[in-house]
Amino acid sequence: MHSRVDTALYPETEPWFQRWLAVGDGHELYVEQSGNPDGLPVLVLHGGPGGGCSPHMRRYFDPSRWRIILFDQRGAGRSRPMGGLQANTTEHLLADMALIRHELGVERWMLFGGSWGSTLALLYAQRYPEQVSALVLRGVFLCRREDMDWLYRDGASRIYPEAWASFVGGVPAAEAGDLVAAYYRRLCDDSDPALQQSLAMRWAGWEGACATLLPSPAVLAGFHARALALARIEAHYFAHQGFMPAGGVLAGMPALAQVPGIIVHGRYDMVCPVDQALLLQQHWPAARLEIVPDAGHSASEPSLERALVAAVQALASEVLS
């Protein structure tokens, strides 16, 4: 086991496998593998939707023990086309995950996902519980109407009124009652790329402002760097209620009765408030919940990093070894 001195994370590691996987409908997904080719497989699911993966996400796993699989979901990160909305729904993403597993020859894998990545992990595990060895989830997002309204209508705006003012200021006052719909219409209009980019920066700036307990220029810069794909895809999904199955995430939880998991959630998560994690754990007795008292939403916050690394280590030792 690597020693921990200045950081909870493992050292940086480079992928030994990279490819673009054609999944149909004109989409090609970026897929990579790093760590131990013969190690325990783990699939990392990024947030957003539309956020994309980063090298940082490899560092929650001991590279001598884990076969670390990352991919950028449709339209996100290095996948092509960037920001593509055609044939981009939750059902398509679940099918993509099944195809990746088949292409890589993985029998069972652990799922590691945060925010929207937690939503996707839960839906996949409900459909294919025999293919999932365990789950580590961070910043649980149940993708209910009230969860979307918290961030885009009447919740977090009271905590971050300055950032909210910039977000609301992107559209006419008459349309401010449904910001997702107002932004979605404009982000889908390719006739004015400058306006698209300006609105995407406002969208990403709002989410980035809410993502950490304390202001983080680095986290905000990360949101701005992927603003167009993030804003387009999030608006597309949230305008369609996340393309959720009937009954949403909670309705499918009985399928996970025998699947172990650890839920890690920041007490002061202003993107996905902690009541979602509590509710999920009540529907999932096989999982345990750790509420991190000095963290918000971003996985890059030090206390969340420590908790996530510990969760991965615990499952590797208790369940997967």
Whichever domain contains 117, its CATH number is 3.40.50.1820
Q: Which residue from 224, 205, 213 is spatially nearest to 165, judged by alpha carbons?
A: 205
Q: Are residues 139 and 255 in the same domain?
A: yes
Q: What is the pLDDT of residues 96-150, one digit of tens each?
A: 999 999 999 999 999 999 999 999 999 999 999 999 999 999 999 999 999 999 9
Asked which of 241, 267, 294 is the last residue of a domain, the reply is 241
CA-based R_g, the chain, Å: 19
182 and 98 share a domain? no
Per DSSP, what are the bridge partners of residue 138?
114, 264
Q: Edge to edge, what strands does the sheet with 287-292 contain?
A: 17-24, 27-35, 66-71, 40-45, 109-114, 132-138, 261-266, 287-292
Q: What is the pLDDT of residue 4?
A: 39
The end-to-end CA distance of the chain, in Å, is: 14
Closest CA to 117 of 90, 95, 144: 90
Looking at the structure, tell me whether residues 139 and 29 fall in a common domain: yes
- pTM score of the predicted model: 0.96
Shared-domain flag, residues 118 and 62? yes
- Whether the CB-CB separation of 72 and 38 falls below 8 Å is answered with no
Residues marked active site are found at 115, 269, 297
pLDDT in tens, 292-301: 999 999 999 9
**Does a structural domain hold residue 1?**
no
- Token pair in block for residue 201: 């920066």
* Alpha helices (H) along 169-316: 179-187, 193-210, 217-225, 227-239, 248-251, 275-282, 302-315
Domain that holds residue 225: 146-241
133 and 26 inside one domain: yes
Could you read off the pLDDT of 206-241 as tens digits, one per residue?
Answer: 999 999 999 999 999 999 999 999 999 999 999 999
